[in-house]
Structure 1
Amino acid sequence: MSSNRGFAIFFLELYLAAWSQEVAAGPLVVDRTRLGNTFDGVGGLSGGGATSVLLPNYAETSRSEVLDYLFKPNFGASLQILKVEIGGDSQSTDGTESSHMHDSETVDLHTGYEWWLMQEAKKRNPDIKLYGLAWAFPGWVGEGSGDPFKFPKQTARYLVEWVTGAKSEYGLDIDYLGIWNERSSDSNFVQVLRKSLNEAGHTSTKLVVKDGDIGICNDLLKDKAYADAVDIVGVHYPNDFADFSACHQLAKPLWASEESSSYDDMNGAACWGRVINSHWVLNKMTASIMWNLVGAYYHGTNWYASSMLTSVEPWSGHYEVNPVIWATAHVTQFTKIGWRYLVNGSGSGELPRGGYFATWVDPSSTDFTMNFVKISRDHASCTRPHLPTFQTSEENVTVLLAPSMRPPAELEVWYSNFEAYGNAEPPLFQHSTVQVHNNKFSLHIPVGAMITITTIKTGGKGSFQHIPPSSPSFPLDYVDDFQSTDDSRNARWFADQIGSFEIHRAEDGKRSLRQMVTQLPIGWSDKGSRGPMTLIGMREWQDIKVQVSFRLPAASAKRSPADAACVGVRVDQMWQNGVVLCNLAHVDAYCDIVRSAEHP
């Protein structure tokens, strides 16, 4: 009896302690007179690399639906920033994207698909911001040195041609330009690039440096001329518990310019929803951009199933709308670039029992949006970085809206729970309302929740009546003579992995698929050391027949004679495994079984 009584007293003490802490915390006060930094948006990244390659091959209906889910306002992800790879003719994760300048003399503004994607995004949302970044460079910019900064004017001209071409050929203004993804940056080069952009009339294009780690902040603090040429500090996969004091001393916008790389399931949505809020609350980051935008690359290549939306079956038209779409919509549908954050303690901060909340206000009206996110430690992690241990539990909060907020009597509520695994149909982006009494409203926040409270009434969970059923097997027989494909384009359903393959006319006037890279690129993950290669089909194929007609081009002023043409089966994206048959220039045939050291 005495032991039970002791337990009861102990339990009561714990309960009262928790109750007193909650009361002591009081209501969450929201006051628009306490403005923070300007909000720069939430975006998605196409590239790094070739992550969107299969999307243009979809039939129009499915393709337009995918694009609507990504870019159409008040429908799906409603993205505010589109970041794309500036193709560099080299493998950059899931493939190669073609450069606009394979050599120093020719500018081809019809290569690849990023121009098309940016146009489609702008059609749906004219206010979307565009951001270009190189993962690799053609070898000629470094004149064989492997260093893109050795001849800064040459590399600057290469990037400026891309920005200029976007405007002259497609009417696209490039808002942001990066330097070299997750590789070195260079003070002299960035200054030359800034000057070159200005001279070409692109004074409004802002430079983001360096799309990598936070060490760049110390570099900029030590070099005023370098810092003066930079507009935005972009860091990748930032650790919210690191020291960002050097970055804040720069007094420049700080972005998570690449983030997530996590699975496209509920865990991925939980990760993404968490960092959109925590990056502001803990480190004053004003933009987050998710890699990757759309998973339109073959199964078996790197980082499969890490996308906002999956579209890997152009032959069937099937696509999958992933939960990450709705985590994104919680912010993008109810904010605009140029709104202002409210500072911690007056609209943003950490929730008493774990989690984060942020508030954005429209400086030109009384509109505002609040977002609450509470994710458990087991589901909060992104692929990187590691998270420390922390606790979360459900709670009820009261929000006190200061007179400066001028709230209406009723606010819109959008609710998701990314840890509702027991439900057959988990709650994703569900709509309701909450009443405001005496400038207050109350909210229950369970673990796993992402909740938006807003004055904006235009939000919507878009859908289409019929998504074609999945048919994952690549359809055979497949035949293509490339005659109906426009020059400079990628071939239907092919995914370049090393080198760049484009449709061009041969001497006889007929089109063929031509490998365009004649000099080793300045690579990101591979410089082409195993030779050029493009993929089509499935690694799971076993008994198939392949017939290819090819020609080995003769030597010219720009091209060395080709040594061989090869066909491989069951190969991976880097020529490390598979069975390969080659026809050499001076030998009838050559066969090799390629196995990597990891797969003997």
Structure 2
Amino acid sequence: MGILKRITALAIGAAIMCTAVNTVFAENNNRGDTVNIKIDGSKANTSENLLYRGQGMISCNGSSRLLLDYKEKNPESYSKILEHLYGKNGLKFTHFKVEMGADVNTSSGTEPATMRYEDEKADVTRGAGFQLAADIKKINPDVTLDMLWWSEPKWVSDSSDVYAARYKWYKQTLDAAYETYGLVFDYVSANQNERAVDTDWIIYLSKALKSEKDCPYDYSEIKIVAADECGTWGISRLMMKNKELCDAVDVIGSHYTSFADDTTKKLAEEYGKELWFSEGSSPMTYAQSAYRFDEGNSGLTGLNGVLDIANRMITMVSGGYMTLYEYQPAVAGYYDGVTYCHKQLINACTPWNGYYTLDSGYYMNLHFSQFMDKGWSFIFDACYGDAKVGGDGHALVDAKYSYITACSAEGDYSTIITNTTSEPITYNFEVSNLAKAGNEVYVWETRGPDSNQKYDANYFKKIATVTPENNKYSVTIKPYSMITVSTLNISEPEFDVPQESDNKLLSLPYTDDFGYSDEFLASRGNAPLYTTDEGGAFEVAEKNGEKVLMQKITKDIKANEWGGTPDPTTNFGDDRWYNYSVSADILTDGKDSYAGVGLRYILADSGRSGYSVTLYENGNWIFFGGKKKILDGNIADFDSSKWHNVKISALNNDITVSVDGEKIIDYKAEEGGYSAGRAALYSSYNNCCFDNIKVEATDSVQPYVNKFDNFDNIFTYSENGWEHSTMDSFKNYKRTISHGAEGGYLTVDFEGTGIILTGAQKGDTVVSIELDGKTVNKEYAVSKISNRQSFLLINGLEQGSHTLKLTVVSGSCSVDAAQVLYDYEAVNKAVTNETSSVVESTDSSDSVSEDNDKSAKSNGGKGSFPFVPVAVGAAAVAAAIGAGVAIAKMKKKKD
């Protein structure tokens, strides 16, 4: 490889300056409330490997799965989402990386393998990644492509020659990507994601690609990225000791660190290696309401907040010479509650209605993407970051001065600055040796809301036009904000995004008999609508001449774990489903196999969630709450060779299960119940089958809930007695939680017929409860429960405005979210009369006939819920359901 070639004599000087960055930065920074930045175009580093490469996204861990459903059901929204990311008026992403899946959970879900068997033709229609790459290429043909493996098919790992088998997998996947979608890959990542560096394999892959003759395009041009370590640069030290390895690696990538060590920097400066931030986080904070409680009331601060991520992208330049930042994920195309969820620039998890949101991080990113194009040169003298690594080990903390500057060959320049302090900071600019040094500059700002403003009122706004005097000017940045100062005069982007009213329910009843067209299935690797797999692979297949849903991963082909995979589990539907049932025809597959159904699926990290029942081939059954076994039993004379219908139903805290119409379980949750959530299917690692899925309301008045975070404005907290965490575990809704101590109180103002409060509890808490000014229970003992479980349910109220007051009498009470029940029929009718239905629905003759006439007892005390009686009859159920979504006509039940 040799010493990298410098393009100009001035660039040689810039390279020398890079080796003394600390001295240079000290000259630019007076360590006060005023900072002097000298932007000298003659010091722009034009070395090719140090030019700005832009930003990209990674499609992995099932994070893009639901985008396929957007494409099918709402193609306009799908196209807009990709335009937001890769279009010239959006984030202008330049890079896309896809996970080479292995059907194991690699954090937030599974990615299907392109080759489950050695003799199988590679199928890149499985999963969303390769199809996304093809559609992104239509938006910007210059986007570069990469692929990386977390785990590999078992036939590869078990091979007597693993490298040859692994190369076969790589090569045939590349072949299939070209054959199916015309994709030409620019890069392949060699090493296993975030695992020990395999130098011999990296060299093997490089040599094999460079000598490949049997290929649809020149594979020798594909560059090697290594080693995708997490927070370290061990590959660099190995490259310095091994010339063959050094020659094999074109790009050094590392995850979740903005700083490179001296050895890695030397490889960039002297050997021409590109350095990438090859996996980085998106913001995790719930800015929509976090501004009520975070530092500066901005919604942008804290660990993994918007300004933290912006600082990582700034610091990666001065601290690491990195030129590309890859988001994981950029768009969250998976359901809420998966591991590491609430981490995105765009949230897209309701494909049936086409709704999506551009989150705060999206607008943060515009400060980079709209003012720095791929190929711009960094002026390292005008780049600086004093943040330190802290918090979770990925975050940057204690940043005071943080900025980067880049310029174009035409003489434009941009400086991006953050301020994470409580005081304004003034930046004095002096510009020289650029064609546009004396031009007007435009100042764009993102900050939190002023009093009585919406949370995003000040996102990405042009706030000033500044005319330099003798190429000098000053700009002041407000506390807890970021700005871009640029000679580029862009128009304020206008985004045609869905409105909150577009977030329509997936209505009940909902059915699927998997009778999809062959063309539809071929376009998406046989995946049905709306399912997301946490373990295994649930695909439509033929069984005795009929299309059914089959779990495809068996123990003999299950890949080695990357992290940890639950037994096969898939979930689907609307998070707002509450009082409903799930039924399915199931067929087990051999000794010790099982299949089952579940509902109120809310947290995917352990596979099982909500309530579920699994039925074994020998007639044994197990009933679960979360992953905890609650009840078990046996069905006598069970014939596993036949299909059986299993149904689980929930009405508030009453759960029933029936098999072939015979009730086997009648359970009442007397401690923490599970509230609204999706439907789920469960299987052992066998080819178990499912058919005739039907999800129905069990209560015509209250089948659904509206969800609210504990930071939303329906919550009001006493000034004392509460601590609010704006960045907590993904196991909490929106990653937020509020902890109330003795004497602290809160009120919740809601519109509906009932309310559920959720949050993990230690079991040492007593609270008093008032409703609409009247005491319901003076000493309600809160049971010990886990994340997202309900600790309080009040129901049976008249539809209308209500106020709940909760006071902590003793112990500590944690509040995560509220779910508000409402009279669906009345509300939907009112909205329909005014505008349009709140429910996404199509004509259907299906109706619910099961009699759910029940009366709940009002009681209190430990392990019970204050509960107002409510009665629901069969006539009301049948009248209220009306239309629903039906994918295909139901088949007759099998015998």
Measured against aligned partners, the alpha-carbon deviations of 1:352-373 in whole angstroms (never above 9, x if no partner) come to 993222222223x223322222
2:407 paired residue among 343, 350, 361: 361
Deviation of 1:589 after TM superposition, in Å, equals 4.9
| 1:313 counterpart residue number | 350
Deviation of 1:253 after TM superposition, in Å, equals 1.7
- Find the residue that maps to 1:70 and give its secondary structure: helix
| 1:348 counterpart residue number | 383
Counterpart CA distance in 2 for 1:23 and 1:260 is: 30
- Find the residue that maps to 1:476 and give its secondary structure: coil
| 1:211 counterpart residue number | 228
Is residue 2:188 matched to residue 1:177? yes
- Find the residue that maps to 1:438 and give its secondary structure: coil
| 2:439 counterpart residue number | 409
Counterpart CA distance in 2 for 1:128 and 1:562 is: 48
> Relative to structure 1, is the Cα distance of residues 576 and 504 closer, same or farther in structure 2, using a 3 angstrom cutoff?
closer
Deviation of 1:154 after TM superposition, in Å, equals 0.8
Counterpart CA distance in 2 for 1:99 and 1:110 is: 10
Contact 2:106 2:563 in 1 (8 A): yes
- Find the residue that maps to 1:524 and give its secondary structure: coil
Counterpart CA distance in 2 for 1:412 and 1:328 is: 17
> Relative to structure 1, is the Cα distance of residues 280 and 516 closer, same or farther in structure 2, using a 3 angstrom cutoff?
same
Contact 2:444 2:483 in 1 (8 A): yes
| 1:258 counterpart residue number | 279
Measured against aligned partners, the alpha-carbon deviations of 1:166-187 in whole angstroms (never above 9, x if no partner) come to 2232122222222321122311
| 1:566 counterpart residue number | 596
> Which residue identity is paired with 1:410?
E
Q: How does 1:339-488 map to 2 (within 5 A)?
A: 339-344=376-381, 347-350=382-385, 354-363=400-409, 365-376=410-421, 393-407=423-437, 409-417=439-447, 423-424=453-454, 425-431=456-462, 432-458=464-490, 460-464=492-496, 466-467=498-499, 469=501, 471=503, 474-484=506-516, 485-487=520-522, 488=525
2:134 paired residue among 119, 122, 144: 119
Deviation of 1:214 after TM superposition, in Å, equals 2.2
Contact 2:330 2:346 in 1 (8 A): yes
> Relative to structure 1, is the Cα distance of residues 531 and 463 closer, same or farther in structure 2, using a 3 angstrom cutoff?
same
Work out the percentage of aligned pairs sharing the same amino acid: 24
> Relative to structure 1, is the Cα distance of residues 570 and 188 closer, same or farther in structure 2, using a 3 angstrom cutoff?
same
Contact 1:420 1:448 in 2 (8 A): no
Counterpart CA distance in 1 for 2:100 and 2:536 is: 15
Deviation of 1:412 after TM superposition, in Å, equals 3.2
> Relative to structure 1, is the Cα distance of residues 455 and 29 closer, same or farther in structure 2, using a 3 angstrom cutoff?
closer
Contact 2:439 2:487 in 1 (8 A): no
Measured against aligned partners, the alpha-carbon deviations of 1:161-213 in whole angstroms (never above 9, x if no partner) come to 22232223212222222232112231111111112222143223222111123
| 1:161 counterpart residue number | 172
Contact 1:102 1:516 in 2 (8 A): no
Deviation of 1:462 after TM superposition, in Å, equals 3.0
Contact 2:419 2:425 in 1 (8 A): no
Measured against aligned partners, the alpha-carbon deviations of 1:270-296 in whole angstroms (never above 9, x if no partner) come to 122111111112222211112211122
Measured against aligned partners, the alpha-carbon deviations of 1:3-25 in whole angstroms (never above 9, x if no partner) come to xxxxxxxxxxxxxxxx9976996
| 2:109 counterpart residue number | 95
Contact 2:52 2:323 in 1 (8 A): yes
RMSD across aligned positions (CA): 3.1
Tell me which moved more, 421-430 or 130-139. Answer: 421-430
Deviation of 1:123 after TM superposition, in Å, equals 2.0
- Find the residue that maps to 1:404 and give its secondary structure: coil
Deviation of 1:480 after TM superposition, in Å, equals 1.3
Deviation of 1:104 after TM superposition, in Å, equals 1.0
Deviation of 1:309 after TM superposition, in Å, equals 0.7
Contact 1:135 1:524 in 2 (8 A): yes
> Which residue identity is paired with 2:432?
A
| 2:339 counterpart residue number | 302
| 2:373 counterpart residue number | 336
Counterpart CA distance in 1 for 2:535 and 2:150 is: 14
Contact 1:316 1:468 in 2 (8 A): no
Contact 1:274 1:375 in 2 (8 A): no
TM-score by length of 2: 0.57
Counterpart CA distance in 2 for 1:24 and 1:593 is: 61
| 1:513 counterpart residue number | 549
Contact 2:378 2:406 in 1 (8 A): yes
> Relative to structure 1, is the Cα distance of residues 187 and 330 closer, same or farther in structure 2, using a 3 angstrom cutoff?
same
> Which residue identity is paired with 1:103?
Y
| 2:829 counterpart residue number | none
Deviation of 1:402 after TM superposition, in Å, equals 0.8
> Which residue identity is paired with 1:273?
A
Q: Identify unmatched segments of 5+ residues in structure 2.
A: 1-28, 288-299, 388-398, 629-759, 761-784, 787-895
Is residue 2:70 matched to residue 1:54? no
| 1:69 counterpart residue number | 84
Counterpart CA distance in 1 for 2:434 and 2:193 is: 43
2:55 paired residue among 31, 42, 45: 42
Contact 2:582 2:598 in 1 (8 A): no
TM-score by length of 1: 0.83
Counterpart CA distance in 2 for 1:421 and 1:323 is: 18
| 2:254 counterpart residue number | 235
> Relative to structure 1, is the Cα distance of residues 372 and 340 closer, same or farther in structure 2, using a 3 angstrom cutoff?
same
| 1:86 counterpart residue number | 100
1:495 paired residue among 522, 532, 541: 532
| 1:7 counterpart residue number | none
Deviation of 1:134 after TM superposition, in Å, equals 1.6
Counterpart CA distance in 2 for 1:504 and 1:30 is: 64
Contact 2:33 2:426 in 1 (8 A): no
> Which residue identity is paired with 1:228?
D
Measured against aligned partners, the alpha-carbon deviations of 1:36-74 in whole angstroms (never above 9, x if no partner) come to 621122222222x11121122121222222222222112
> Which residue identity is paired with 1:259?
G
- Find the residue that maps to 2:510 and give its secondary structure: coil
Contact 2:356 2:497 in 1 (8 A): no
Measured against aligned partners, the alpha-carbon deviations of 1:59-98 in whole angstroms (never above 9, x if no partner) come to 1222222222222112x32222222222221111111111
| 1:385 counterpart residue number | none
- Find the residue that maps to 1:203 and give its secondary structure: helix
| 2:324 counterpart residue number | 287
Counterpart CA distance in 2 for 1:119 and 1:396 is: 45
Contact 1:160 1:196 in 2 (8 A): no
Contact 1:317 1:468 in 2 (8 A): no
- Find the residue that maps to 1:531 and give its secondary structure: coil
Counterpart CA distance in 1 for 2:480 and 2:178 is: 43
| 2:749 counterpart residue number | none
2:40 paired residue among 18, 30, 42: 30
Contact 2:98 2:129 in 1 (8 A): yes
Counterpart CA distance in 2 for 1:549 and 1:144 is: 38
Contact 1:30 1:405 in 2 (8 A): no
> Which residue identity is paired with 1:44?
M
> Which residue identity is paired with 1:206?
K
Going by fraction, where is strand more abundant, 1 or 2?
Answer: 2
Contact 2:65 2:334 in 1 (8 A): yes
> Which residue identity is paired with 1:441?
Y
Q: Identify unmatched segments of 5+ residues in structure 1.
A: 1-18, 377-391, 555-560
Deviation of 1:578 after TM superposition, in Å, equals 5.0
Counterpart CA distance in 2 for 1:436 and 1:374 is: 23
| 1:524 counterpart residue number | 562
Counterpart CA distance in 1 for 2:593 and 2:35 is: 73
> Which residue identity is paired with 1:523?
E
> Relative to structure 1, is the Cα distance of residues 410 and 329 closer, same or farther in structure 2, using a 3 angstrom cutoff?
same
| 2:208 counterpart residue number | 196
